[in-house]
Structure 1
């Protein structure tokens, strides 16, 4: 079966199951994450108080943890929810936004990984390098990585596969060309458009899409590929429809494009190898 067919089958599972995706995420992009989950066919919930997160995650299909706007109150909630999800075999996705930017952020990411077993960890190259213990300079919550594309792709594959083996998690490195890896298998995705970096939250939304697919698809490598490819393809379509308008129109069109994904779109546009 072709990869685009596998992705579409995963999308059908999402739409059929309507997975409840529990988020403990950042307040900058929480609304966008909720809406992207609805657009793909899932059901979002944004509960982050430690008095209810264990109960809430118990009825969820997946848990997305995003450290974009850290505070001491939600860190404990993340750990409680993550541990409860692990006990119930509910997949947990980590978006380590800006790890490496501050000592506190790096310490929290390390603690989360020590306390919780993650099914998928998605970040840019700078963030994943920091998770892997490779020293790198981080520019706020954005990557500072530049370099030759082909050599960087090989580097990403090696880092991702080694980290996947160490953490028993799918490692997804998103960028100009995305690299998604398990211990011994990697996929590259060349979909997307640079305008995605011009609006805040596209990385967070991508993690929410992965959470949606993980909530319906038992193959977490496929779920990560499906979520990231869907975001990239939708970005391309949205740009084509709004390139003479602006980023506000682009953002609205991005949601529409996620909502309207189908087999023909995946077949015509998927750039996965």
Structure 2
């Protein structure tokens, strides 16, 4: 983990423009604030390009996507590409329906993502690899490293495949991460918030391998730290403890876990 990445985020407080799903907006905003970034939620087509032009990074999350959202995401993504700021694409539940699949394909034709983040089922869909899914959840099994590599190569981007073991595949190398906690799977929006944290880390001047790994590793550490809090009795108390943990110094998190 590159501590300079987190230091830079907290010093610069990057503005991340979120075009994300309605279920997770509040949780995502609070989580990014705790980590050190600044969230703005703006999905209207009329302002998507302008808002992205003002931001330091853009997150495109299709969790509750509508036809109007697709155009707004393309406009925001194109503005980010023109400005040279990072774009994180989170194809939530892309394999669930043809509408979602078509929406992501439409976005990818017009926008160059810096990172594509998703679970194995979502990323497998992007490279036409059979994988069992249930709604927005990935329940199949297979070679996750191969899936991440295929996504990275096909879209010439960094792929972040999340799960019990996280796989980060850049155009140069593959990195694995083992931090995390099972309670994350019980919280709606945990993966979506990771996309926001990733976008914030991508605004720093570290190599993308360090940016992506730091985001994923720190996120997992924060989850384990939060779950170890004696006050945590279940999902609800875990959420509060997790939001607090995202603001902690990395050394504090590591000292408890190790």
TM-score by structure 1 length? 0.90
TM-superposition CA deviations, 1:68-115 (whole Å, max 9, x none): 001111111000110111111111000100011001011111111111
Alpha-carbon distance between aligned partners in 2 of 1:53 and 1:267, rounded to the nearest angstrom: 42
Alpha-carbon distance between aligned partners in 2 of 1:266 and 1:60, rounded to the nearest angstrom: 31
Residue number in structure 1 paired with 2:80: 85
Question: 1:166 aligned to 154, 179, 182, which one?
Answer: 154
In the TM superposition, 1:104-119 aligns within 5 A as 104-119=99-114
Unaligned 5+ segments in structure 2 are: none
Select between 215-224 and 199-208 the one with higher mean Cα deviation: 215-224
Residue number in structure 1 paired with 2:13: 18
Residue number in structure 2 paired with 1:175: 163
Partners of 2:21 and 2:64 within 8 A in 1: yes
Number of aligned residue pairs: 258
Alpha-carbon distance between aligned partners in 2 of 1:133 and 1:159, rounded to the nearest angstrom: 10
Question: 1:31 aligned to 20, 26, 30, which one?
Answer: 26
TM-superposition CA deviations, 1:171-216 (whole Å, max 9, x none): 0000001000112311111111111111111000111110111123
- Are 1:125 and 2:113 an aligned pair? no
Alpha-carbon distance between aligned partners in 2 of 1:65 and 1:121, rounded to the nearest angstrom: 10
In the TM superposition, 1:58-69 aligns within 5 A as 58-69=53-64
Give the 3 Å change call, closer, same or farther, for CA 141–196 of structure 1 in structure 2: same
Runs of 4+ in 1 over 4 A off after TM superposition: 266-270
Question: 1:201 aligned to 189, 202, 212, which one?
Answer: 189
- Are 1:136 and 2:136 an aligned pair? no
Alpha-carbon distance between aligned partners in 2 of 1:248 and 1:101, rounded to the nearest angstrom: 28
Give the 3 Å change call, closer, same or farther, for CA 161–183 of structure 1 in structure 2: farther
Partners of 1:242 and 1:253 within 8 A in 2: no
Partners of 2:218 and 2:250 within 8 A in 1: no
Deviation at residue 263 of structure 1 after TM alignment: 3.2
RMSD between aligned residues = 1.6
Select between 136-145 and 59-68 the one with higher mean Cα deviation: 136-145
Question: 2:246 aligned to 258, 263, 266, which one?
Answer: 258
- Are 1:210 and 2:205 an aligned pair? no
Give the 3 Å change call, closer, same or farther, for CA 98–265 of structure 1 in structure 2: same
Partners of 2:225 and 2:256 within 8 A in 1: no
TM-superposition CA deviations, 1:207-232 (whole Å, max 9, x none): 11101111234533322211111211
Select between 28-37 and 209-218 the one with higher mean Cα deviation: 209-218
Residue number in structure 1 paired with 2:225: 237
Give the 3 Å change call, closer, same or farther, for CA 168–218 of structure 1 in structure 2: farther
Unaligned 5+ segments in structure 1 are: 147-151
Alpha-carbon distance between aligned partners in 1 of 2:66 and 2:92, rounded to the nearest angstrom: 13
Alpha-carbon distance between aligned partners in 1 of 2:60 and 2:208, rounded to the nearest angstrom: 16
